[in-house]
Amino acid sequence: NASLLGILQHPDGTVLKQLQPPPRGPREQEFYNKVYDSDCCDSILLELREYLPKYFGVWSPPTAPNDTYLKLEDVTRKFNKPCIMDVKIGQKSYDPYASAEKIQQQVSKYPLMEEIGFLVLGMRVYHISSDSYETQNQHYGRSLTKETVKDGISKFFHNGYCLRKDAIAASIQKIEKILEWFEGQKQLNFYASSLLFVYEGSCQATTVRLSDVTLAEKRGVPKGLLSGGDILEYNNNIHVINSTENGKIEASVSKGLSKFYALHKKAYSKRHHSQLSLKVENLEKDNVWKSSTCITQEHLNGNVIPQLEKVFCHMPAEIKESANVEVRMIDFAHVFPSNTKDEGYIYGLKNLITVLQNILDN
């Protein structure tokens, strides 16, 4: 994601964004300083902080004291397989002080900006099947028209098996909060500023905990009862048995799954160790499980990963944890004081919500 955003990741959990040449860089620095001023008591700016990366001042490398970097929260840090999209918002990507040639240059880059109100600058989507990322650069976004923008954005929420409707719904909610903020303020106008979207691409974030089947493999537990009374056996397929009375699902797990666990091993060694079992939590109601388009009482042969993926993707809403999604405003080199609502930004947000809602509904 660093390349997508043009920033450096620092081991301390921040990112370093090099200050642009004047006037843009100093303007962005001034914006962050104003919003994050410790004496700030303006409720509008205090609320705005919720929608920005946290700001930790500026930093310069000892070897090059004249190079200034903004030190910002790494919004992607808490994710295992972050899927990232950067969307420029507004009807104009040039500010009120832009020269005629700057205006011409910006308009020619994406003539549809006025009409669509946003532009996809880049995306990086994790595909579970190949355990790899698919990346799109700014040429992808600029190729999108009114007719294709819906499909163009839905690509970001598709992991190769299914459309992550949970992540879309969560994104809409977050954009609506930002829209509310814009509807309530008349002191700042934003040009060429972006929204950064991040959601969890790995299935690790679902309520299905595969964590310690890996441990079972390492310890060489051949088969038999493990903690929680779940039966773990190795054979050539996966067989999901009816949910038992206590709401757990017993599964016999195959060698065919080891590929799948390999995707998780790294993540889990770093994180928590839960039960030694493949288990779906919170399945109090049998019918909840059956009502989803799921794999009760049947053998799954062939490629296990897509089958498991179907389970995750179609898990009923009442089981699924709310999607792990971040939507933050970034890029403030063209933020100006104002005494009117930012109608261009508001237009872009509303249109983006409409497009996302259309993806959900169809």
Structure tokens at 177: 């909060």
- pLDDT of amino acid 203: 83
- Alpha helix locations (H) across the chain? 2-5, 24-35, 43-48, 100-109, 113-116, 138-142, 149-154, 165-183, 213-219, 258-270, 286-291, 304-313, 343-361
**Residue 227 pLDDT:** 39
CA angle 260, 160, 300 (to 5 degrees): 50
Query: Of all residues in the chain, what percent carry a pLDDT higher than 90?
Result: 64
75-203+322-361 fold: D-amino Acid Aminotransferase; Chain A, domain 1 (3.30.470)
For residues 254 and 239, what is the distance between their CA atoms, to the nearest angstrom?
Answer: 9
- Specify the pLDDT at position 60: 95
Greatest Cα pair distance, the chain, in angstroms, is 75
Return the domain boundaries, the chain: 1-74, 75-203+322-361
Among left, alpha and beta (phi > 0; psi -120 to 50; other), residue 141 is: alpha
What's the pLDDT score for residue 232? 32
Question: CA 350, CA 110: separation in Å to the nearest integer?
Answer: 19
Low-confidence ranges of the chain (pLDDT < 50): 1-5, 205-302, 316-321
- Tens digits of per-residue pLDDT, 143-179? 999 999 999 999 999 999 999 999 999 999 999 999 9
Q: Please indicate, yes or no, whether the overall pTM of this predicted structure exceeds 0.75.
A: no
pLDDT, residue 349, reads 99
Cα(85)–Cα(1) distance, integer angstroms: 9
Residues 6+ positions from 203 with CB-CB distance below 8 Å: 128, 210, 308, 309, 312
